[in-house]
Amino acid sequence: MEELEAEHDVAGDALYELTDLTNHFTVPSDACTTYGATYNMLKELVVDMYMHVHTENNVLFKRY
């Protein structure tokens, strides 16, 4: 369980950094369509990962 928690911490840090670097996935006004699509997919990835970690921590491996 400690290894899983450590992995979640590392993943959370990376997701936070990605969110910060992209200014919360704000697409610049002069960006091309591909740029916007990439940001949208990255945002979906971050949301999915947070849900995955939440499910593991609070449903599958709930602490007693």
Which pLDDT value is given to residue 34?
A: 98
Cα dist. 2→5, 8, 19, 54, 60 in Å? 5, 10, 26, 16, 15
pLDDT of residue 63: 64
Spatial separation of the C-alpha atoms in residues 41 and 10, rounded to whole Å: 21
More confidently predicted of 62 and 7: 7
Higher model confidence: residue 42 or residue 63? 42
Give the pLDDT band of residue 5 (cuts 50, 70, 90): confident
Question: Could you say which DSSP state residue 59 is in?
Answer: I
| Residues 53-58, mean pLDDT to the nearest whole number | 87
Q: Work out the pLDDT band at 46, boundaries 50, 70, 90.
A: very high
